[in-house]
Structure 1
Amino acid sequence: MPELSRKLINFTDSVIRRMTRISDKYGAINLSQGFPDFDPPREIEEALKTAAFKGPHQYSITWGAQNLREALAEKQSKFMGLDIDPDTQIVVTCGSTEAMMASVMTVCNPGDKVIVFSPFYENYAADAILSGAEPIYVPLYPPDFSFNRVELESAFKQKPKALILCNPSNPSGKVFTLEELKFIAGLAEKYDSFVITDEVYEHIVMDPYKHVYFASLPGMFNRTLSCSSLSKTYSITGWRIGYVIGDERIIENVRKVHDFLTVGAAAPLQEAVVAGLKLPMEYYSWLKNLYTKKRDMFLQGLSEAGLKYVKPQGAYYVLIDVSEFNVRDDLKFCEWLAKEVGIGAVPGSSFFKEDVNYLIRLHFAKKDETLLKSIEKLKTLREKAQFYRE
């Protein structure tokens, strides 16, 4: 047999998706893979019913149906404070996963370097490696997951083609401050690098924190590829509708990559999701309040269970410190947790370049009754952990 691609040696399959399979195997409550167990807005459901019968059922325009791009441009122009052209500055993708992959492939040549903050969403390193690029990891330091400015500039001195910025951050829930973003912008300009943003949690930010779109900073639109998704905002993670927004020259080339990666996102779903983009501004306030209440409920339960955690500023994840249970292999611990406690979690080592095996990630994008049931199970963890053996 001929040799397979050597790129694949440098990463595993998705640990997050693996933990969903393990949760299913043991009938555990899946707090690993971040998707809700509640329905999307009724307006989207009704629009999907119509699209199911009336279509469209054939290919849409490769880079996104006209009405979807127009609705996206209108919404994002309001939130980003930019005048976005739906015909030249947007490409619709199959989820933000493809948006990120297409963006990295658009800007990187083989041998280029890409800065990735650690902890990171597991796809980023794989995106760089599959594009023939080399990740440069810069640590974020708990409890606020801030970066060291000297370390970040040292990474930029290696002349990276791009920096990947997840804001709000998965898995830590960090929301980057305006000062931090301005510092990154200064380095991107100084060393002539692109910035590829993952902003899928843009509307899940808890007070007093504020999300700032990197592309909205002075001079940054022309060097930013803004990636996002409708999955988290409208609770439709299975629809796989994402997008990239950027300068016309950039988007023209992202469209080329997208065309040959997936041709286009599902036409009926593109049609149906337009209804979500037309929801009033009050929807986004409601969404923030919803997740703020869920976070506070879940964190109170974790405190009652005696578990240590890092309070998230945004997104819907929380990192739990399990060092007291003498965990050496956090993947084995998460498998045990699913089987014996009935909770699906993600081992922290899958997010860190550093040697970190004392954190696990849980998410709180669930119905209140699911969260309360999860809390009751987690309250048994300390007692059951007496019998945990690796």
Structure 2
Amino acid sequence: MSVRLSKRIQRVSLSANAAAKSQATALREAGRDILDLTTGEPDFDTPEHIKQAACKAIHGGATKYTPTPGVKALREAIQRKLQRENRLDYSLASIVVGNGAKQIIFNAFASTLDEGDEVLVPVPYWPSFPDIVRVNGGEPVFIECGLEQGCKLTPSQLAQHINERTRWLILNGPGNPSGAVYSEAELLALAEVLRRHPQVLVLLDELYEHIRFDGKPPLSLLNVAADLQPRALLVGGVSKTYAMTGWRIGFGAGPRDLTGAMAVMQSQSTSGASSVGQAAALAAFEGGLDFLPEQVQAYQQRRDLLVAALNEVDGLQVLKPQGGFFVFVRCAGLLGRLRPDGLRLNDDGDVVNYLLEQGVAGVAGGAYGLSPWFRLSIATATRSVIEAGRRIAEACAQLRLEASA
């Protein structure tokens, strides 16, 4: 007897990133030499003062239920962080803490979407965006933003896709998987379009805000268009900046009626986030960013090494990321070529599987809505990034043109 599943769950699928990570892990556990470049998880350790704060909280008895919107001290620290680092002012009631940024996004869509409401999703996208929209009754509307425009949404595209059913626009910067960063002028141009459509909310996913390679501070749409703050939700957290992916603490800052509804939604699912995780996040936001330049420099070095290696490979086009943990690669030039065993590369899934056989695990671009591309993470040891570039170049050199087979 099989269990009858809901139509809701049948509209979504397992995260492609998680699936690729699981496959790479299984192969490594079986003894294969696999370089895992699948996930955006910093290879740096959580800073020591943050770990010590968590231990202190445990020994101090801070192991009980927490308020659903988040511990007041942490929300106050987030409030100060937003003023200090993002130059944005929020009331305490406008800030809500969740079990990771993904829950914040889920709660926001669960609180605002009715059946048939549309959410504009620039392509390429983080794979969870469209599925979270679908599971909450909405319809993702995809806007392809290809290599020629730096994988960034243009004002004309935005204006073309807004209609009476449009409920949200998602803006992710620095982008995952693209690493794209919007300039002040580009954000101003998007803001001009949004001002003509006051019914459209804006979700600003800024998890990678400090992982930028231009030396500039984080720049949000709200820094150039403060009038949009009453209808924008800024999503942040500790996972990327502070290497705290497993601590599961994210936050949202937005209109009070929205954050209040999100807290109600969370009260009926997970309730408040971990007391220990919140104590650690408080220490993170209050402890400064002195450790960060060295890490960003390492990411930038890895980016430069991998981009340089892949730019030498016939058949690949590399979008040089301006931030984040990823290098996004267009592989249209490899399609139609034959592997040494005679099999033909027909799509980016075939390319990724071929590279996996050569010991490099990435994620096919179809997972991000854009094919034929693939994504590689640089959140891994520099030596692994160098070796991955070498293996990819060697694997591609072994391909043959179909006509010469």
Q: Which residue of 2 aligns with 1:92?
A: 97
Amino acid at match of 1:348: G
Q: Which residue of 2 aligns with 1:308?
A: 317
Structure 1's unaligned 5+ residue stretches are: none
Given the superposition, is the C-alpha separation of residues 375 and 49 from structure 1 closer, same or farther in structure 2, using an over 3 Å criterion? farther
Decide which moves more: 232-241 or 147-156: 147-156
What is the correspondence of 1:345-384 to structure 2 with a 5 Å cutoff?
345-352=362-369, 356-384=370-398
What is the correspondence of 1:5-44 to structure 2 with a 5 Å cutoff?
5-27=6-28, 28-44=34-50
Residue 66 of structure 1: how far off its partner (Å) = 1.8
RMSD: 2.3
Picking from 226, 230, 244, the partner of 1:218 is 226
Amino acid at match of 1:231: S
Check if 1:288 corresponds to 2:293: no
Given the superposition, is the C-alpha separation of residues 208 and 274 from structure 1 closer, same or farther in structure 2, using an over 3 Å criterion? closer
Residue 33 of structure 1: how far off its partner (Å) = 1.5
What is the correspondence of 1:206-285 to structure 2 with a 5 Å cutoff?
206-207=213-214, 211-216=218-223, 217-285=225-293
Q: Which residue of 1 aligns with 2:329?
A: 320
What SS is found at the alignment partner of 1:161?
strand
Normalised TM-score (structure 2) = 0.87
Given the superposition, is the C-alpha separation of residues 369 and 2 from structure 1 closer, same or farther in structure 2, using an over 3 Å criterion? closer
What SS is found at the alignment partner of 1:380?
helix
Tell me the distance in 2 between the aligned counterparts of 1:387 and 1:324: 11
Residue 270 of structure 1: how far off its partner (Å) = 1.1
Residue 220 of structure 1: how far off its partner (Å) = 1.2
What is the correspondence of 1:89-128 to structure 2 with a 5 Å cutoff?
89-128=94-133
Q: Which residue of 2 aligns with 1:83?
A: 89
Picking from 181, 184, 187, the partner of 2:193 is 187
Tell me the distance in 2 between the aligned counterparts of 1:10 and 1:252: 28
Picking from 44, 53, 69, the partner of 2:75 is 69
Residue 206 of structure 1: how far off its partner (Å) = 1.4
Q: Which residue of 2 aligns with 1:334?
A: 352
Tell me the distance in 2 between the aligned counterparts of 1:153 and 1:7: 30
Given the superposition, is the C-alpha separation of residues 49 and 207 from structure 1 closer, same or farther in structure 2, using an over 3 Å criterion? same
Aligned residues between the structures: 383
Which structure carries more relative contact order (alpha carbon 8 Å, separation 6+)? Answer: 1
Given the superposition, is the C-alpha separation of residues 374 and 2 from structure 1 closer, same or farther in structure 2, using an over 3 Å criterion? closer
Tell me the distance in 1 between the aligned counterparts of 2:5 and 2:393: 46
What SS is found at the alignment partner of 1:163?
strand
Tell me the distance in 1 between the aligned counterparts of 2:88 and 2:395: 48
Picking from 167, 170, 188, the partner of 1:161 is 167
Tell me the distance in 1 between the aligned counterparts of 2:127 and 2:257: 28
Residue 271 of structure 1: how far off its partner (Å) = 0.7
Tell me the distance in 2 between the aligned counterparts of 1:287 and 1:30: 19
8 Å contact 2:123–2:151 — kept in the other structure?
A: no
Residue 214 of structure 1: how far off its partner (Å) = 2.2
8 Å contact 2:116–2:165 — kept in the other structure?
A: no
Given the superposition, is the C-alpha separation of residues 156 and 386 from structure 1 closer, same or farther in structure 2, using an over 3 Å criterion? same
Decide which moves more: 181-190 or 64-73: 181-190
What SS is found at the alignment partner of 1:137?
strand
Given the superposition, is the C-alpha separation of residues 145 and 366 from structure 1 closer, same or farther in structure 2, using an over 3 Å criterion? same
What SS is found at the alignment partner of 1:219?
helix
8 Å contact 2:155–2:193 — kept in the other structure?
A: no
Post-superposition Cα deviations, 1:251-285, rounded to whole Å, max 9, x if no partner, equal 11121112223212211111122222123354444
Decide which moves more: 321-330 or 13-22: 321-330
8 Å contact 2:360–2:391 — kept in the other structure?
A: yes
Tell me the distance in 2 between the aligned counterparts of 1:260 and 1:387: 57
8 Å contact 2:94–2:254 — kept in the other structure?
A: yes
8 Å contact 1:169–1:175 — kept in the other structure?
A: yes
Given the superposition, is the C-alpha separation of residues 165 and 147 from structure 1 closer, same or farther in structure 2, using an over 3 Å criterion? closer
Tell me the distance in 2 between the aligned counterparts of 1:357 and 1:281: 37
What SS is found at the alignment partner of 2:161?
helix
Residue 150 of structure 1: how far off its partner (Å) = 2.9
Decide which moves more: 14-23 or 61-70: 61-70
Residue 181 of structure 1: how far off its partner (Å) = 1.9
Normalised TM-score (structure 1) = 0.90
What SS is found at the alignment partner of 1:146?
coil
Residue 130 of structure 1: how far off its partner (Å) = 1.1
Q: Which residue of 1 aligns with 2:31?
A: none
Q: Which residue of 2 aligns with 1:54?
A: 60
